Structure 1
């Protein structure tokens, strides 16, 4: 019993509440970082990174690709999930087991047991790239949480409320940090401030982010 209590105390040490329903797990993905990056490389070989355009025609500064049953895309037709990569007309690469397992464990750690992601958006940030405040609302069911994994250069994660006017918190995300939000925070506005230049031993001059969702 003492061993179990010690383990619980150790786990709690890296949990950082962000808001009701939202938690940051500091360093949670560090042990799996090399395996995650190898899996990302395999995905990118089949579905290369690309800079998508918003429905209004603005080129996004973040390069993106997907894996899983559905991939998130944006173009003049709007935001949506597709079963096939528009560039290749082939199904998106399968969701790597290491992605699924990490996301399920992270979600369970903060109270979202049974999370079974079926889609992962992979974002690559170069210096100066950013992601404006937005909600993840293109999924069919908002009961499942969002799990976001940060690798490489540190970034400032902007996490607001369910109204766009709510002032966001600025949270420094290091490589290996994982954010999970759901329940009352599921539709919180969030984004990434412009990435500061640097050089990380795992990724060089970029940051890679995995956003795992139950989309379909």
Structure 2
């Protein structure tokens, strides 16, 4: 083996061999489950991960025979572009997985203009009062949002040394203290469907770490002098609609804020399009009625390149029969989805910018996660744009 082709030095090659041997010796792991093994594979930097059996819906016809046997291409009940003009006008390809009943995948559903529009909404409109995010626990954020402040500094409309740019730290605050400062809502949650946005965008945002693991490192203390352009990179998640309490893993039914109409409209169209789809010959068929569905709670996850989302099950919703709709924008990531326990071997797939993944029926109880964001995969249309200076922020 020529180390210069794969490794930068002999030392790096030796370290890689040692890590590979350790990875193969599963008896040395404290946690031994099929899902954890998959996470370790994709999180590995040296040696690089094994991508052999990763499902690529963008290139399904060239996947291995094993993967092709697993994938079932389906026709949606209606065309997304006819339901909402923010989708591509052309018909979208959709797929099921035979071994994961209830999982539905719609590839490349959004044109670049819509992707940029939603990304801007997630940073400028959703990540501010009255919605709650991870930064609200430690900082007293401006009501116009941290992103608005960052934009003003970037455009030289505001001096970074200005008093307005200093973000005060809360003293002895927790999640419940944060919620108590907002007015309660008298609305009751009905269908409690959740719409989740995943934004693996390395140059502007970071990831939610909503792992339910019991052994979790404590959060680092907040920095009193962190400028807005640095603090924005610590943004992990924001809740929209009904607010979520992370310490208790429950929704605050008395704290419901307006759900973004743009996300509600897109989610409604997706739920209508997947009604009745499935594998009729003894397989799963989605019988959930779109007329019963309403977008009321959502989570925006912000990822940096080194971030990940560990295996978990979304089980806080009152109605677990309602589909969970997820939109992905930015860098490509590895998505894992398995079964009702971590012992079930998960399927790995690429989530590209503009893809939609839906979990419904039995799939709602499946463990899933994002072990890795893939470097160098940002679509060209999401990079800096000389014709759109506002996008350079």
> Which category describes the TM-score, using the shorter chain as reference length?
0.7 to 0.9
SS of equivalent residue, structure 2 residue 263: helix
Who is 1:169 aligned against?
347
Looking at structure 1, the residues matched to 256 and 216 of structure 2 have their Cα atoms a distance apart, in angstroms, of 24
Distance 1:25 1:199, change over 3 A: closer
Looking at structure 1, the residues matched to 132 and 315 of structure 2 have their Cα atoms a distance apart, in angstroms, of 25
- Per-residue deviation at 1:94? 2.2
Looking at structure 1, the residues matched to 249 and 383 of structure 2 have their Cα atoms a distance apart, in angstroms, of 28
Contact 1:152/1:174 (<8 A) preserved: yes
- Unpaired runs of 5+ residues, structure 2, are 1-78, 81-89, 136-208, 220-233, 276-287, 385-393
RCO higher in structure (CA 8 A, sep ≥6): 1
Looking at structure 2, the residues matched to 198 and 107 of structure 1 have their Cα atoms a distance apart, in angstroms, of 32
Matched, 1:181 2:181: no
Looking at structure 1, the residues matched to 267 and 346 of structure 2 have their Cα atoms a distance apart, in angstroms, of 24
Looking at structure 2, the residues matched to 44 and 92 of structure 1 have their Cα atoms a distance apart, in angstroms, of 15
Who is 1:21 aligned against?
102
- Per-residue deviation at 1:187? 1.0
Structure 1 residues 109-146: Cα deviation after superposition (integer angstroms, max 9, x where no partner): 11142321200100001011111111110111111010
Contact 2:332/2:377 (<8 A) preserved: no
Who is 1:74 aligned against?
246
Matched, 1:32 2:114: yes
Distance 1:203 1:120, change over 3 A: farther
Written as runs of structure 1 = structure 2, the 5 A alignment for 1:1-216 is 11=91, 14-18=93-97, 19-30=100-111, 32-40=114-122, 41-46=124-129, 47=131, 49-50=133-134, 57-58=216-217, 63-68=236-241, 70-75=242-247, 78-82=248-252, 93-111=257-275, 112=288, 113-114=290-291, 115-198=293-376, 200=378, 201-202=381-382
More strand by share: 1
Contact 2:334/2:374 (<8 A) preserved: no
SS of equivalent residue, structure 1 residue 108: helix
Q: Structure 2-normalised TM-score?
A: 0.43
Q: Structure 1-normalised TM-score?
A: 0.74
- Per-residue deviation at 1:63? 0.7
- Unpaired runs of 5+ residues, structure 1, are 1-6, 85-90, 205-216
Looking at structure 2, the residues matched to 95 and 142 of structure 1 have their Cα atoms a distance apart, in angstroms, of 19
Contact 1:155/1:192 (<8 A) preserved: yes
- Per-residue deviation at 1:199? 6.5
Distance 1:56 1:62, change over 3 A: farther
- Per-residue deviation at 1:164? 2.0
Looking at structure 1, the residues matched to 93 and 237 of structure 2 have their Cα atoms a distance apart, in angstroms, of 29
More helix by share: 2
CA RMSD of aligned residues (A): 3.0
- Per-residue deviation at 1:198? 3.5
- Per-residue deviation at 1:158? 0.5
Q: Which has the larger radius of gyration?
A: 2
Distance 1:82 1:58, change over 3 A: farther
Looking at structure 2, the residues matched to 192 and 153 of structure 1 have their Cα atoms a distance apart, in angstroms, of 12
Who is 2:83 aligned against?
none
